[in-house]
Structure 1
């Protein structure tokens, strides 16, 4: 059974990390054994990726964050050797360099990159398998051999309104079962996420409808600020109009309890799987209702937008009013969303695409393909030297010397 060393950027609960665990569990049925590693300093207090990995029976370990590319290359090469890895899979293009210089040095092992961000670092290796999560990135990199679109997957058998009830979630939070619930499952980070959450809190606050609750699941560096804003709305309405639950290792009950879901990226995709109407959120304060007429556009952009709008709060209020006052519309859009999810990003189908990518990487990777990216790496080092010539010279010299002098230190194996 081929073994895959999977490098993550975080051990916190986040869409990309959960996708990686789901993929590792799914490809096991196709003959690939995975071990995942992530930086120990990203392990949060409370629920973490370890909860997800344990439930999926996926191996997950911590790794001390290296202080340099060289240190990272050595650490990754050691891990790959100890775990008998045949292939290295890195999530995030900006962290691929240690793997390229370490366990994948001279093409000893294939390197597969998954970029579920909205842009690809221009210094990303060009002769490795690259997985992107949006149609527009697939189109942008059509010139690049080895670029594959694999949508962030949703396990539609687990994320199924028939398999999960939201009643216990509603009771645990002490919510009024008769109220309509708008739910967001999201990181509460200032970067990318907080603007949409803030607009949702303000929209519910402005509506002042005692029959509507906003429930927000997640944590992050903006949580304190957003809790304060929610507290003001609750004080003004003299009720718990906005409830922040904190993080949940398994938020399916929150999705199931919703009447309307607001989200972006992987959270938006899971919302559709639960058969609930979706309002797609953009990172800068932008909202659109997901409908059959615009579904292809939202899917192409992975349920995300960088755009803003002059009155995001007002636009969200209009969409919420339309959905919350029309049960038939909610039912129709929910049913369409469920069918869309099953057909376009169900985990079994996406896992087969990943297996094909792994198979292709194992067949085609070698020293020649690795060497084709050397000019790009040299250019990267030149740019570092130009940006910071005083402190980068020594580090740059060390990195340039690796192919000639440092390979034995990275990994004492025969190169085929």
Structure 2
């Protein structure tokens, strides 16, 4: 097959890293794979994997007619079979490019915490959690697959030489301190609340414990994060919080941590390094991964919604207070997390599953091209979405990551779900 993979952007982030790593794994299985998108920091990663990169035109409003035309031209010139869009704007642009091409099929992957209703229901859809898949099947989607965020368990593992000492020296990480590590985009939606409460939690631990919170990442909430970090460091009189900014290769940040905090793909990479993990969510959600809590995350994803933001820092403080001094417990939980990732989230397994999704999409492409009623329904959802966005901007209530701002997990009860021997 000839496959075009189109991440929603090429800045550092979980969805786009997953897209690129999975594209590389599919390419290694013998399928010609192109990555399409606006140039960004991850272009270097694309080229390191030996993949061809094709720059997209400026998008402007999304979905973009110019981008869809560029995609359609590539499909014709290169005889591309699959256009794979990640998140809703690329998904729609791939669909518009493929809908009149008799030999090509569009597929969509959404790793946000909710799916845009204006992705047409007949487009093959991949999501990252069983909870979201159940909701989308109930919404009437005809082809929904769960493909949990994959991890390259060879490139992310204990024992690698990642210049960990240089990281400590460059950023002034205190010697002899317990390190609590976060690798995260500094986004206001989904991320900021937890990052701020993590600072408060670490600052409230006894000074005799000597704990340092290492935060690797950048983004639109950088100013708020830096301001709170400065306040905490002044209050504690030491380097309690260390901000590195965005790291081209953040693996050393995971590896130096005694405990990692995170959600989604970042949480899974922490587990791949054999680190105890406290899963970050919203509304005060913090939960230590243990054999008894695993089923929760296998159902709803590596994220959660608590009962209220106010108690988040104290809940995390209690977890850290108990686990940081317990070296044996940390080692046992780290080994457990590594087994979970290797068993369920390996990149090799995900590549094989992705190829099955592509094959099924090609088999059903001809029939789906006639689904005009579903296209009209999707267009109606899109127009309502744009109207709501305009109203929100006019009233000062707009959000940047709007489908992460309305996560499925916030409104769905926990279902019984088996780990299937992952322990």
Could you tell me the TM-score, scaled by structure 1's length?
Answer: 0.86
The answer to whether residue 163 in structure 2 is matched with residue 162 in structure 1 is no
Superposed counterparts of 1:261-272, under 5 Å: 261-272=260-271
Verify: 1:204 aligned to 2:202, yes or no: yes
2:3 counterpart of 1:4:
yes
Q: Which residue in the other structure is 1:127 paired with?
A: 122
Aligned equivalents of 2:30, 2:120: Cα separation in 1 = 27
CA shift, 1:129, in A, is: 1.9
Match of 1:101 in 2: 96
Q: What's the offset of the Cα at 1:382?
A: 4.6
Deviations 1:126-151, CA, capped at 9 Å, x for gaps: 22321111011223344643221111
Aligned match of 1:62: 55
Contact between 2:121 and 2:378, CA under 8 Å: does it hold in 1? no
Cα distance in structure 2, aligned partners of 1:201 and 1:159? 26
Partner of 1:335: 335
SS in 1 for 2:252: helix
Secondary structure, in 3 states, of the residue corresponding to 2:134? helix
Aligned to 1:377: 375
CA contact (8 A) 1:160 1:273 kept: yes
Distance (Å, rounded) in 2 between the aligned partners of 1:337 and 1:62: 37
The runs of 5 or more residues in structure 2 that have no matched partner are 388-423
Asked whether the 8 Å contact 2:111–2:127 carries over to 1, the reply is yes
Quickly say closer, same or farther: Cα 1:202–1:61, change in 2 above 3 A. farther
State the shift of 1:30 in Å: 1.9
Q: Does 1:53 align with 2:46?
A: yes
Normalised by the length of structure 2, the TM-score is: 0.84
Which residues of structure 1 form unaligned runs of 5+?
Answer: 390-416
Deviation of 1:94 after TM superposition, in Å, equals: 4.4
- Give the distance between the partners of 2:180 and 2:28, measured in 1 at CA: 37
Aligned counterparts of 2:132 and 2:354: Cα–Cα separation in 1:
17
Measure the CA separation in 2 of the matches of 1:108 and 1:194: 44
CA RMSD of aligned residues (A): 2.2
SS of residue paired to 1:307: coil
**Structure 2 CA distance, aligned partners of 1:386 and 1:225?**
32
CA distance, structure 2, for counterparts of residue 63 and residue 92 of structure 1: 16
Contact 2:174 2:239 in 1 (8 A): no
The number of equivalent residue pairs is: 381
In structure 1, distance between residues paired with 2:290 and 2:54: 41
After the TM superposition, which residues 213-232 of structure 1 pair with which residues of structure 2 at under 5 Å, given as runs? 213-232=212-231
- The DSSP-based 3-state class of the residue aligned with 1:266 is helix
User: What CA distance in whole angstroms lies between the structure 2 residues aligned with 1:388 and 1:247?
Assistant: 32
1:80 aligns with 2:75: yes
| Cα distance between partner residues in 2 of 1:131 and 1:388 | 24
State how far apart, in whole Å, the 2-side matches of 1:106 and 1:80 are: 8
Mapped partners of 2:385, 2:339: distance in 1 = 50
TM-fit CA distance, 1:108: 4.1
CA distance in 1, matches of 2:290, 2:55: 41
Structure label with greater radius of gyration: 1
User: What residue is the counterpart of 1:398 in the other structure?
Assistant: none
Task: Give 1:386 shift.
Answer: 7.3
Q: Is the 2:118–2:380 contact (alpha carbons within 8 Å) kept by the matching residues of 1?
A: no
User: How is 1:384-399 mapped onto 2 (pairs within 5 angstroms)?
Assistant: none
Listed as ranges, the matches of 1:308-323 within 5 Å are: 308-309=307-308, 310-323=310-323
Could you say if the C-alpha distance between residues 152 and 207 of structure 1 is closer, same or farther in structure 2, counting changes exceeding 3 Å?
Answer: same
Match of 1:315, SS?
helix
| Number of the residue aligned with 1:20 | 19
2:238, 2:175 → 1: CA distance?
15
- 1:277-300: CA deviations, max 9, x gaps? 000000343111111001111122
**SS, match of residue 311 in structure 1:** helix
Pairs within 5 Å for 1:347-362: 347-362=347-362
Q: Answer yes or no: is the 8 Å Cα contact 1:8–1:39 preserved in 2.
A: no
